[in-house]
Structure 1
Amino acid sequence: MLSARADDLRDKQNQVKKGLKNATGALEESSSAFTAATKRLTAAQGKLALAQKALAKTQGELTAARVLDTQMQAKLVAAQAALAQAEADLAAGIEDVANKRDEISLVVAENFQKGDPRLLGLSAILHARDINDMGTQLHAVGNLMDQQADMLYELKAKQNQLTVQKGKVAAAKAIVAEQRQAAAVNLARKKALEEKAETNRAQVASFVAQRQAAASQARAARAVDLRKLQQLKKEDARIKRLILARAKQQSGNGFSGNSGGFLLPPVANSYITSPYGYRVHPIYGYYSLHDGDDFHAPCGVPERAAASGTVIEEYYSDVWGNRLFLDVGKVNGKNMTLIYNHISSYKARTGDKVKRGETIAYAGTTGWSTGCHLHFTVMINGNPVNPQNYM
């Protein structure tokens, strides 16, 4: 009778698996799609952050280059104005020197016509009527000679000023040339930075589009996964009810007494990496019950029967991977079923009776799992409870 019911249960379970496979495909592929979309989203966000950082840096450099360009243009304008003033002063100086030379040339011409002032002085002495007249004549000659000396001194001074002014013009031209060169270099850098900034903006826009696309894909994949997860949870709950209904028909009073220590840790020399309890789902973000203890269990490590009992079912779930249900009978009047998940391979099969501590399966990472471990669930009358209450 029990064998017939077990066969019927297996047939129903196979129908469920086939129906889900035909209707929705492999859930793990959907989960992989979500994982891949999430990775693309993370990558796009990383690239976007780098592109935004590069753009900000380029814009900062461009702003500095523009400020420097304004300053350099102002310096160039000032240098050009100084050059223009120096050139104007030089032109005026050249004109002054030319005028002074013309003036001296006229004096020389007059002297040539009138004679050498020094000879005129001698003539004044020789032709003076008296001593007073002689003094007057000599004074006039002296004034004329002083005037000529002043004119020559002034000409020399103006020529010296002209030389200085020519130096100022040369220096102003050098400054203008230097400012033009610096401005040209900065202008070229500014143009290069403008092109770089435009490239950075295009990259940012591209990565924004990639992020939006990846986010859309991730949302779609997440929606699919959540929908399929809810469907599988319903199917799993229905199968569990059938399994528990079968288990309840078994005879015997089972264990009575202190339940602490009733269960042996399912993995020898191990420890819990994630305990039973409510938490935020690490992938989907919703608050839910983590219905068992995750035990550290490298791939292939033996998993043992935590109590003596009968294997009532083993099958593959896209979410839980390879699973094994072990009915250990009644504990203080309530039915206890142990569930082993993410198994790599089985040693015990449906219908096998196993002893406490006996190897029934080997650790793996099948189903939705990021690495080899054992997700161990204890169910009392079909409801998950904290396994540590019985260890």
Structure 2
Amino acid sequence: MNRDLPPRPVTSRPLTGRFARGIAATVAALSLVTAFGVPAGADELDDRKSQLQQEMAAQSDAVEDANADLSAAVGRHNEAKANLAAAEAKLAKAEAAERDAQALDELRAAELEAAEIALRKAEADVAAALAALESVNRRINEEVLVTTQQSDGLLNLALLFTDVTTSNLNQRAQLAQTLFDSSAKQLDELEMRRLALEDAQAAADAARDTANAAREAAAEQLRARKAAADEAAALRTEVARLVEEAAAAQQAAQGELAAEEARQAALQQEAASVEARIQARIAAAKKAAAEKAAREKAAREKAARDAAAKAAADKAAAAKAAATTSRSTSTVSRPAVAAPTSRFLMPVGARITSRYGMRLHPVLGYWKLHDGTDFGASCGTPIRAAEDGVVSERYYNSGYGNRLMIDHGLLDGDYVTTGYNHASRYTVRVGQRVSRGQVIGYVGNTGYSTGCHLHLMVWEDGSVVNPLAKWFG
């Protein structure tokens, strides 16, 4: 689990402060280890667990370096933006189609209007041709009637029995010829008018077909325009909904991002607090060591004075034995230092799932330190002390879950502390002396954890270091 921020996070969104590169670690020499212990009165783990239980319930499913809520919120935001972009593209096409449909609708309406005008003109031409034909028919009927009346059988018979002169006969013949010629002309006109009527009717039929086709095209285009308008309206509604959804997703993502940054800031504060506490223990141990050294020095000086006085008395008493030489010796004690060691006992027998080092936060976008080594042990696996020491701290933290730290004293010239995180529970208490290999707790999944595992940490002289670099094989 990533914990600390690097000195210069590469992100445009600064967090409050910066993590120290490591939290701190130190211990006194084994002879002074009791001076490191924090009073073991109230058990911080039990006192704080109930207080933080509700807070951790929502974070138990956190993913590596970013909890599930943040990842899901960012995913929803990205999905909402993609959906909105796709909907806006579809809306742009729909609006273009709507404009094209509107233009085509106007064109079809203009074509329909022109076809209607042409139809009305054609129908008027038919009516005019029909009226002209009827007019010719009436004239012909009248002339036929006159001709018939003037050349019927009785009239012809009367010509035989009446006194008709040659002049009258010629006159009558000329009239008959004139009537005949007139009838022939009118018959020709009648035929012309009939043909004109047929042409006008054919033109009217064509205009009517054109008008009907224009009406159907206009109606179809009107339906298409309405469908395009309805689709564009629906897409506008969808875009408006997606805009709201994207805004809500963005707000949620920003909220989760702020929460993640707050969690990182809390880890920073935790790191600084641990460092301060360990440094305080180092200072107390050094002070105790200095006081003890001063007491031992004073005791040695007093012993030297007493020895000198005794030697003087012995010398005076043994004046007669001048050849006898008195010698006195004194022993100087030094602070006990633990025997050097280069390897600690592995706290669990499980494979390493994540090593110490810098990592890129998947959401916040900056590099941060993974400040320990993760062992993929199953929940309930016993955790064993890496080396002899004294339990210096045991408590619950929202990031590291259940924590326990053991001060091992001065080893190979360094004050060394080991830390065990995410345990389900511990079996030792603050101030208790533990032995190498002793069971101190059990693997768990508490805090910001992706599953059951042990997060092992090591501090040298107050700075967090890679556990596998020196102390663990």
Q: TM-score, normalised by structure 2?
A: 0.63
| Residues 243 and 285 of structure 1: CA distance in aligned 2, closer, same or farther (over 3 Å) | farther
| Amino-acid identity (%) | 25
Instruction: Please give the residue correspondences for 1:162-241 in structure 2 after superposition, counting only pairs within 5 Å.
Output: 162-211=200-249, 213-214=251-252, 217-218=255-256, 220-222=258-260, 224-241=262-279
| Residues 365 and 226 of structure 1: CA distance in aligned 2, closer, same or farther (over 3 Å) | same
Q: Which protein shows a greater Rg?
A: 2
Residue type of the alignment partner of 1:178 = E
Query: After the TM superposition, which of the residue ranges 27-36 and 206-215 deviates more from structure 2?
Result: 27-36
- Of 343, 356, 377, the residue aligned with 2:457 is 377
Could you tell me which residue of structure 2 aligns to residue 132 of structure 1?
Answer: none
Could you tell me which residue of structure 1 aligns to residue 337 of structure 2?
Answer: 252
Alignment check: 8 A CA contact 1:13 1:239 kept: no
| Residues 11 and 245 of structure 1: CA distance in aligned 2, closer, same or farther (over 3 Å) | farther
Residue type of the alignment partner of 1:310 = G
The answer on 1:341 being equivalent to 2:426 is no
Gaps of 5+ in 1: 130-135
Alignment check: 8 A CA contact 2:74 2:253 kept: yes
Q: Tell me which of the two structures has the higher relative contact order, counting C-alpha pairs closer than 8 angstroms and 6 or more residues apart.
A: 2
| Residues 359 and 115 of structure 1: CA distance in aligned 2, closer, same or farther (over 3 Å) | same
Alignment check: 8 A CA contact 1:27 1:225 kept: no
- Tell me how large the CA RMSD over aligned residues is: 4.4
Residue type of the alignment partner of 1:161 = D
Alignment check: 8 A CA contact 2:458 2:466 kept: yes
- Of 352, 370, 375, the residue aligned with 1:271 is 352
Separation of aligned partners in 2, 1:285 and 1:44: 17
The answer on 1:73 being equivalent to 2:112 is no
Residue type of the alignment partner of 1:86 = L
Could you tell me which residue of structure 1 aligns to residue 21 of structure 2?
Answer: none
Residue type of the alignment partner of 1:338 = T
- Of 353, 360, 363, the residue aligned with 1:280 is 360
Alignment check: 8 A CA contact 1:79 1:176 kept: yes
Instruction: Please give the residue correspondences for 1:1-391 in structure 2 after superposition, counting only pairs within 5 Å.
Output: 6-8=37-39, 10=40, 36=69, 39-40=72-73, 42-115=75-148, 147-211=185-249, 213-214=251-252, 217-218=255-256, 220-222=258-260, 224-243=262-281, 251-256=336-341, 259=342, 262-272=343-353, 274-282=354-362, 284-305=364-385, 307-313=386-392, 314-328=394-408, 330-350=410-430, 351-356=432-437, 359-390=439-470, 391=473
Residue type of the alignment partner of 1:63 = A
Alignment check: 8 A CA contact 1:48 1:208 kept: yes
Cα-to-partner distance string for 1:163-203 (whole Å, 9 max, x where unaligned): 32342243234224313432442343244335424423432
| Residues 14 and 238 of structure 1: CA distance in aligned 2, closer, same or farther (over 3 Å) | farther
Separation of aligned partners in 2, 1:239 and 1:12: 17
Superposition deviation, residue 364 in structure 1 = 1.7
Alignment check: 8 A CA contact 2:119 2:208 kept: no
Superposition deviation, residue 40 in structure 1 = 4.6
Separation of aligned partners in 2, 1:371 and 1:247: 37
Separation of aligned partners in 2, 1:41 and 1:283: 8
Superposition deviation, residue 242 in structure 1 = 4.0
Residue type of the alignment partner of 2:442 = Y
Separation of aligned partners in 2, 1:231 and 1:329: 25
Count, aligned residues: 368
Superposition deviation, residue 81 in structure 1 = 0.7
Query: After the TM superposition, which of the residue ranges 204-213 and 34-43 deviates more from structure 2?
Result: 34-43
Residue type of the alignment partner of 2:197 = Q
Alignment check: 8 A CA contact 1:311 1:324 kept: no
Q: TM-score, normalised by structure 1?
A: 0.74
Alignment check: 8 A CA contact 2:36 2:285 kept: no
